[in-house]
Chain A
Amino acid sequence: MSVPMKKFTTPITFLLAIVAPLLIVTIVLRQPRADHQLIETLREKYPVQHKQGADHGQMEILQQDFSNPHEITAACLSCHNERGHELLQSPHFTWEREAYIPGRGITYLGKKNLINNFCTGVQSNEGSCMKCHAGFGWDDKEFDFSNQFNIDCMVCHDNTGTYKKASGAAGYPEMGPDGPDFKAILASMGRPTSENCGNCHFGGGGGNNVKHGDLELALLTAGRNVDVHMGVDGVNMDCVDCHTAENHVMKGKYYGVSSSAAGRLSCDECHTTMPHNKSILNEHSIKVACQTCHIPVYAKVNPTKMYWDWSTATRKKEGKGYEVLDSAGNILYVSMKGDFLWEKDVVPEYMWFNGTADHHLLTDKIEPGTTMLKINTLNGEYRDRNSKIIPVKVHRGRQPYDTENMTIVQAKLWDKEAGKGALWVDLDWESSLVAGMTYVNLPYSGKYDFIPTEMYLPVNHMVSPASEVVSCKECHTRADGRLAALTDFYMPGRDRNKLLDTFGQWMLILSFAGIVVHTIIRVLSYRKRRLAKSQ
């Protein structure tokens, strides 16, 4: 090769050697076009209007004037003659589930007998609590769970939105002229609407959005920005689109009352386990639940209760109970219940969860020195192969406990009459706790105090649009990331070995310093030599 030729070719090949790979890297790095086929299929599948298979308005047996609601159930079951047996097995009716809990064996636990961190528990308060039971007449321990005619069909299947159970009536609706229009209700009977579910599930804990934070009335009217699935300007899905039922047993469960993973509902039943275009995101789903990234905040419209301190209840002003509201109308203090804290747009806390949970039972002893009692325990850890990180609403509070027997004390809160020990009527802890513990037939020393408690409520609803998901950096960051509390694993971007980093930094600093010193000596000695030469 001649020298002048080489002058041209070498820079060109040099440039090519650098530029060509750069080009290739750029091309490869281009984002692939999103494949929206699955999501489009789902978008077409779910907005379909459900038409009823039969017009119940034409059925003769439903045209009578019913004198009590048990007769209505009998009328339903005269055609749907197998459904009654199903309902008798459904947790919506039994309020308990059979589950194996390590250390406890086979248990029959549920809302029926567990305590919670809100209104503490249904036992001794059935008359009021059973306004949300899919049955009629559960007002004490004598309720017959084997009688099909104790089932309430309308509370779930009324499509008029007018059926209502009466307050403090153990699940009965008002009958007669002041009661609901049963003819219209029965004529409308059909697939449960979100309103049916919401009647109870939006109001848990005694008011809209009090308990869950991600389940509330706003879901019936809000847009996609609040919930991509239920948004009225989007797919506008119903609860039962995901929470399907087989023989009246619904899919999906709430781990304030459930213990096993059986019947759990997950996003991948529709979205598959590989819904992302990027495999690194699909890979995350091995250890991170979809909800963790896709529900950046909950309680997006109305606030939810984050703290409930029962210890301050029963205070009186001028001999009477009173309440304190904040500027938005939320109750901050009420003599019946104590102090509350509310929050809106709440960032969840994060926990490992494998789909199994344990509960603190009324019979469980509180370990001496316990500073915080877990009302329920979500099982899981990094090394557990079934565990994923999930977003959790942690509801904190203070509950009464027996300082001698070291157990949580069931309080009696509600009664129709004064003087029966109901806290909400009499505003007296002593008699409330005695009445509650007498009802559940457990020992009570008469000495009580209040203990800090926490309850863990997995957040599954109010899924945000893809544009608002949690970004990488919100977790992969050194300080105050969303997962800062989960320390049982190494996460890139969050974790490092400080010793190694210090070593590395000093190695670099010393290398630079060496170069600088070497350069200075080189320059000085060069100058000295040149000076010597010129002399």
Chain B
Amino acid sequence: MKNHKKVYVYKGFERFWHWNQSLLIFLLALTGFEIHSSYTLFGFETAVDIHNKAAWGFIILIVFAIFWHVTTGEWKQYIPTTKNLRSQAEFYLFGIFRNSPHPTQKTLISKLNPLQRLVYLGLKILIIPVMVASGLLYMFYRYPQDSQIALINIDSLELIALFHTFGAFVLMAFVVVHLYLITTGHTITSNLKAMITGWEELEDEGESTTAKNKESHEN
């Protein structure tokens, strides 16, 4: 058996950021799809109120998160890699049913497996910016009117709204899959516990990746 030891993986801010982000995205989605007239829940006016305020909360949180990622160097966690990408996918498709070990080892300097790196990077540089940019344009869109500033002279909300809706659907799909993948850690709850407490049992660092993993690559 490999040695396991408890490691403080997720720092205080990281968890604060993660859980508030999840809360805000939940609120934004709930109210956003009401504004989209997908259902009635809070009432249109309240939904718009909550949505606009949660949006500002989200933007503030993002500013802090960017600062944190840059100053701590944690942004490097998201550098994409093709190494083990295939075996990670194969793990979720086959290995997990055979109780095979995770093909990549979670360490402090590499918390994310290659698939996570790709997906989270996509969220960070594509989906979230699309949502923030289209959201801000949505908020500051001022309709064709007299004496408006000509610099941003957008005469229709449609394109802005479509981008915003598209991003919302992608984020929701992400949340659905993300919530499920939480259960695919060492045990069903180990990932969740880690994100709540910050502590997770990891394989001792220094141990080489499993031989089995290498084999599957050579195949």
Residues of A in contact with B (beta carbons under 8 Å apart) = 6, 10, 13-14, 17-18, 21-22, 24-25, 28-29, 280, 283, 286-287, 382-386, 471-473, 476-478, 489-497, 500-501, 503-505, 507-508, 511-512, 514-515, 518-519, 521-522, 525-526, 529
Give the Cβ gap from A461 to chain B, nearest Cβ, in Å: 26
Determine the residue in chain A with the shortest Cβ distance to B139: A280
Once the chains bind, are B196 and A14 in contact (CB under 8 Å)?
A: yes
Among candidates A10, A22, A497, A508, residue contacting B165 with C-beta atoms closer than 8 Å: A497
Q: How far does the Cβ of A514 sit from chain B's closest Cβ, in whole Å?
A: 7
Report yes or no: B36 in contact with A511, Cβ–Cβ below 8 A.
no
Whether the pair A280, B35 counts as a contact (CB closer than 8 A) is no
Q: Which residue of A lies closest to B159 (CB)?
A: A490
When chains A and B are docked, how far (Å) is the Cα of A532 from the Cα of B197?
35
Min CB distance, A464 to chain B, in Å?
18
With A and B bound together, what is the CA distance between A503 and B169 in angstroms?
9
Bound-state CA distance A501–B168 (Å) is 11
Beyond the given A497-B162, A511-B173, could you list 14 further A-B residue pairs with CB under 8 A, ordered by the A residue number? A10-B197, A18-B19, A21-B57, A25-B54, A286-B142, A286-B143, A382-B144, A471-B45, A476-B37, A492-B161, A501-B165, A522-B97, A525-B97, A526-B99
Q: Does B198 contact A (CB under 8 A)?
A: yes
Verify B165–A17 contact, CB threshold 8 A. no
Q: How far is B155's CA from A490's CA once the two chains are assembled, in angstroms?
A: 10
Instruction: Report Cα–Cα, A167/B98, bound state, in Å.
Output: 100
User: B64 at the A/B interface (Cβ < 8 Å)?
Assistant: no
Name the residue on A nearest B169 (C-beta).
A504
The residue that A25 contacts in the complex, of B19, B57, B161, B162, with Cβ under 8 A, is B57
Q: How far is the CA of A126 from the CA of B16 in the complex (A)?
A: 81
Q: How far is the CB of B134 from chain A (nearest CB, A)?
A: 12
Residues of B within 8 A of A (CB): 12, 15-16, 19-20, 23-24, 27, 35-37, 40, 43-45, 48-50, 52-54, 57, 92, 96-99, 142-146, 148, 155-158, 161-162, 165-166, 168-170, 172-173, 176-177, 180, 196-199
Contact A17 B16 (CB under 8 A): yes
A-B contact count (CB 8 A): 127
**B170: chain A residues within 8 A (beta carbon):** 507
Q: Is the CB of B53 within 8 A of A22?
A: no
Contact B50 A507 (CB under 8 A): no
In the complex, residue of chain A having the shortest beta-carbon distance to the beta carbon of B166: A500
Instruction: Using known A-B contacts A21-B20, A287-B145, A507-B170, determine if residue A492 contacts B162 with beta carbons closer than 8 Å.
Output: no
Q: Report A-chain residues with C-beta under 8 Å of the C-beta of B161.
A: 490, 492, 495
Q: Do A17 and B37 have beta carbons less than 8 Å apart?
A: no
Contact A493 B36 (CB under 8 A): yes
Judging by beta carbons under 8 Å apart, are A17 and B44 in contact?
no
Instruction: Tell me, in angstroms, the Cα distance from A173 to B27 when the chains sit together.
Output: 70
Q: Is the interface of B mostly helix, strand, loop or mixed?
A: helix
The docked-state distance in angstroms from the alpha carbon of A438 to that of B104 is 98
Question: Could you say which residues of chain B place their CB within 8 Å of the CB of A287?
Answer: 143-145
Within the complex, the shortest CB–CB distance from A325 to chain B, in Å, comes to 43
Of chain B, the residue at the smallest CB distance from A523 is B97
Q: Report the minimal beta-carbon distance from B180 to chain A, rounded to whole angstroms.
A: 4
30 contacts between A and B (CB under 8 A): A10-B196, A17-B20, A18-B23, A21-B57, A25-B50, A25-B54, A29-B50, A286-B143, A383-B155, A386-B146, A472-B44, A472-B48, A476-B35, A489-B156, A489-B158, A490-B156, A492-B157, A492-B161, A496-B165, A497-B162, A504-B166, A505-B169, A507-B173, A511-B173, A512-B176, A515-B177, A518-B180, A521-B97, A522-B96, A525-B97
List of 6 A-B pairs having minimum Cβ-Cβ separation, nearest first: A504-B169, A490-B158, A525-B97, A472-B44, A511-B176, A515-B180
Inter-chain contact B173/A508, CB cutoff 8 Å: yes
Task: Give the nearest-CB partner of A382 in chain B.
Answer: B144
Closest-CB distance, B164 to chain A (whole angstroms):
9
How far, in whole Å, are A529 and B24 apart by their CA atoms in the complex? 40
Instruction: Give chain B residues whose Cβ lies under 8 Å from the Cβ of A14.
Output: 15, 19, 196-197
Cα A231 to Cα B166 in complex, Å, equals: 49
B157 pairs with A489, CB closer than 8 A: yes
Contacting residues, chain A, for B40 (C-beta < 8 A): 473
A472 to B16, CA, bound (A): 35
Closest residue on chain B to residue A492 by CB atoms: B35
State the CA gap A382–B143 with chains docked (Å).
9
Q: Contacts A385-B145, A507-B169: A492 and B177 contacting too (C-beta < 8 A)? A: no
Would you give the shortest CB distance from B11 to chain A, in whole angstroms? 12
CB of B146 within 8 A of CB of A493, answer no
CB nearest to A488 among chain B residues? B156
Instruction: Find the A residue at minimum CB distance from B175.
Output: A511
State whether B99 touches A529 (Cβ < 8 A). Answer: yes
Q: Would you give the shortest CB distance from A410 to chain B, in whole angstroms?
A: 39
Interchain CA distance A22-B209 in the complex, whole Å: 42
List of A residues within 8 angstroms of B24 by Cβ: 21
- The CA-CA distance from A160 to B179 in the complex, in Å, is 79
Residue from A13, A24, A383, A472 in contact with B144 in the complex, judged by beta carbons closer than 8 Å: A383
Please report the C-alpha to C-alpha distance between residue A218 and residue B173 in the assembled complex, in whole angstroms: 58
Cross-chain contact B146 with A385 (CB below 8 angstroms): yes
Complex CA gap A489/B199 in Å reads 52
Minimum CB distance partner of B48 in chain A: A280
The interface residues of chain A lying within 8 Å CB-to-CB of B15 are: 14, 17
Residue of A6, A286, A496 near B145 (CB, 8 A) is A286
Note all chain A residues with C-beta closer than 8 A to B53: 25, 28-29
Neighbouring A residues of B144 by C-beta, 8 Å: 287, 382-385
In the bound complex, CA of A495 to CA of B37 (Å): 9
A360 to B196: give the CA distance in the assembly, Å: 73
Cβ of A384: which chain B residues have Cβ within 8 Å of it? 144
Closest Cβ neighbor of A529 among chain B residues: B99
Closest-CB distance, A60 to chain B (whole angstroms):
55
**Inter-chain contact A29/B143, CB cutoff 8 Å:** no
Rounded to whole angstroms, the CA-CA distance of A21 and B54 in the bound complex is: 10
